[in-house]
Chains A and B, each alone.
Chain A
């Protein structure tokens, strides 16, 4: 026996071994199990379970065929399996007679499996699949409370020991001046040379970047992403040629491998990050992301501790001491996708509940059906059929249905994922990698087993525990029937409780959504068009006057018949982001500069507030008088005014923003809060500066991109064509990005909570529906089981109304217990939902109360319909024997 590998042998799972033990003669069993174990050892570990399952079933199948062909009676140990096929056939026949039951079970299981498997595949693809780099677990993101500056990066790089290959990158983009298609924005990070080696990204053609490319005065070089390379013709001769980016020729030195991930989504190019200590912002521009590899045997916490001690010894960072005090080291994967974790976990919890409710429902459906067949079962038992045989008889039906539901559910999950990939409703990173993978299918097999247990085996086991003598006695149901009824009732209570939890979550999310929708954004959304202008970067020899450039654009656009008013801002409202500046208020003593309060800083054209429809609360807007040489002025938002000068008049007060200007800025106006970071975030203190005065600060750090807000005469999108044509004259070579009605920008900003609400609401309604069906079923069973009793009561003079009330009370009691338990659980679990709620307490009594009320009405309805039947029982019929 040669050529075998060492290592512990895989064991045949106990369940499969038990199946084989029942089917095979004892003298063969050991060697067959050994064969399976040995052969399984040859296969990759992840395939073993499925392979073993398959081999076991083929063994059972062949063995069964061989036995039958020999026309011998089954040996005493074999009846369960050899008769399974017979039972399955008869089960199929009986299911054909009750298609409603079959469809209900199949659909319930299919919905449960499809949603659970689908959501799990998403969670797996996004959260659990490692990054596509070698040794991804060692990759860490390093950052401070904000990002790092170039100076800080080089200081850390020179000192850090626990992290290898510390690399810096910054999200970026450049304008490609395509002679055929006009200017086009190419997305791509700026990186240090070590970036590629640290991540393990390789070149398909040519070379990647070297440290020399980052030196001051180096020739501008660019590495193309494989997609762009293909679009440009895919000819390796492209290497060495130049590409006109930002009106400068950039030499193409290399092409990335297809599918290479450079951390910025949709990256088409990678350019070197210049590290010139003489350049402005070298120490003060905090916008770099750092990534590195932990040295072997080093933890992220150790690396963070080392960086902290380095940071505390660094000099020359007085401005950001506070930020530097807490360098953080986190696995890169966590840094990139960690914020998606709560959302995905919530979805997974929600679908798991739907699945659980589905199982419970199928379980109680089959239990009822099995009890209805107890007489048949009792006859079998009385004639000597063992309990196992009886179990097979009972479960074969549900096994068929659950297996069919599983297959349908897998198809549904595959379809769900395919449509999700086509149009991701919520922006999910790496959504292209999501698919039905082995572990998702494995999970669905596990769920299949659970569903089979819940739907068939457990109720069946219960139902076979009845005494034939009792069951066969005509008339009165056996005590076992009542016991099984109690199981059915507790199942219904459980599913009502689960439905309450889901419905409560949906209710809270709906309340939160309502709060979001009814928020005042602080500006008008109708007839407003938002777009971005990206002027091509100019050479250093040609200074770029941001103020003049946009002045010309604004007056040109306002001359268009379709545009009423046009304004600019360097960071668009709602789309978020922005520059936080430490702000000094006149008359307040600050010990350290780092004690100064922070505020957002926005440079706007005088027309901006009018174009946006923002409301000035006090003072004046910027105007013709606010030019470069005149008194430096500022407008503050209501939050800043209330925080800095509570109860006082802010007009005429002065504040200073070191980044902007060394002079004091006089407050000339107060504007109502404009939601800048999306409607879910409260507005931070903000200082607005006129373009004519603030432009120099923007020019100093090379920011020329501005967002335009246009007040249009008609539908905003109708103006886009005219604006585009005008801009070709007004701003040649500058691509216009993402023109969109402000209305839809605001709506998109709450797309995620909306989708979450829709999904949880859908799950909640499904759960509610299932629970209602469950309660209806239990009450229906009650009526069926007690027909005789009800009939006798009626014969003795009980009024129909009393009878139906009796049944109604029974259903409502179950519902009330379920609702009570569910509310308790919801109140316990609700704080976990807190992160998704806006202006809504997780224990919001209004939402929870409404949910309880709706549930109670549903329970009442679900019990009332079958309870009415109790009144229609004719005593003569009910008293006749079964």
Chain B
């Protein structure tokens, strides 16, 4: 598990989910990524990444409250597992170790 570094989109999705706390689901994550990174992943990409993260045990999902705006369909709310948080941390540390060897370009 520890060797399994996260892909870029996976990292971004996990971080967005952390920022969104209790309101993390596909649409809010896409919006968060749009606002923070300027890129707008498709529903397909996010859906598949979430499924993969769930399979890897990095997130847990549960159904939220259905609203009229969603045509009465509940959102699948995302919550990071301790393994997910560990994995994020490991990925960040690995990246930082790599960056530390790189001079000026960094800033």
Contacts and interface: CB of A to CB of B under 8 A. Distances in A.
Interface of A: 1-2, 4-6, 8-12, 28, 30-39, 41, 54-55, 57-63, 65-66
Contacts of B44: 55, 57-63
A646 B66 CA distance: 87
14 contacts: A2-B23, A28-B51, A31-B26, A33-B73, A34-B70, A35-B47, A36-B43, A41-B69, A54-B42, A58-B42, A58-B44, A62-B44, A63-B44, A66-B52
Contact of A33 (B25, B42, B52, B71): B71
B74 to A, nearest CB: 6
B43 to A, nearest CB: 5
Contacts of A62: 42, 44-45, 47-48
Contacts of B48: 62-63, 65-66
B68 A9 contact: yes
Contacts of B63: 31
B102 to A, nearest CB: 32
A38 B45 contact: no
Contacts of B60: none
B93 interface: no
B58 interface: no
Contacts of B25: 31, 35
A32 B70 contact: no
A32 B71 contact: no
Closest 3 CB pairs of A and B: A34-B73, A58-B44, A62-B44
Contact of A30 (B43, B52, B74): B74
A41 B70 CA distance: 9
A32 B23 contact: no
A66 B42 contact: no
Interface string B53-83: 0000000000100111111111110000000
A6 B73 CA distance: 16
Contacts of A58: 42-45
A32 B45 CA distance: 12
Contacts of A12: 71
B27 interface: yes
Interface in B23-48: 23, 25-28, 30, 42-45, 47-48
A679 B75 CA distance: 70
B30 A34 contact: no
Contacts of A60: 44
B81 to A, nearest CB: 19
A4 B69 contact: yes
Nearest to A32: B47
A732 B89 CA distance: 90
A398 B49 CA distance: 33
Main secondary structure of the interface of B (DSSP, over half): helix
B69 A31 contact: no
Given A31-B63, A35-B25, A59 B71 contact: no
B75 A31 contact: yes
Contacts of B76: 28, 31
Given A1-B28, A1-B67, A62-B44, 18 more contacts: A1-B23, A9-B69, A9-B70, A10-B71, A28-B47, A31-B25, A32-B26, A32-B43, A32-B47, A34-B73, A34-B74, A35-B25, A35-B26, A35-B70, A38-B69, A39-B27, A39-B30, A41-B69
Given A1-B23, A59-B43, A59-B47, A35 B71 contact: no
A358 B69 CA distance: 42
A81 B44 CA distance: 15
Contacts of A55: 42-44
B75 A9 contact: no
A366 B67 CA distance: 46
Interface string B5-24: 00000000000000000010
A10 B69 CA distance: 8
Nearest to A3: B31
A811 B66 CA distance: 62
A31 B73 contact: yes
Contacts of A4: 67, 69
From B25, B44, B74, name the one whose CB has the most chain A CB atoms within 10 angstroms. Answer: B44
Nearest to B41: A58
A56 to B, nearest CB: 8
A503 to B, nearest CB: 49
A65 B48 CA distance: 9
A63 B70 contact: no
Nearest to A60: B44
Nearest to B70: A34
Nearest to A30: B73
A37 B70 CA distance: 6
B31 to A, nearest CB: 8
Contacts of A61: 44
Given A61-B44, A62-B47, A63-B44, A37 B73 contact: yes
B72 to A, nearest CB: 8
Contacts of B27: 35, 38-39
B42 to A, nearest CB: 4
A411 B45 CA distance: 30
B69 A11 contact: no
Chain A CB count within 10 A is highest, among B30, B73, B76, for: B73
A1 B70 CA distance: 12
A694 to B, nearest CB: 74
A57 B47 CA distance: 13
B20 to A, nearest CB: 10
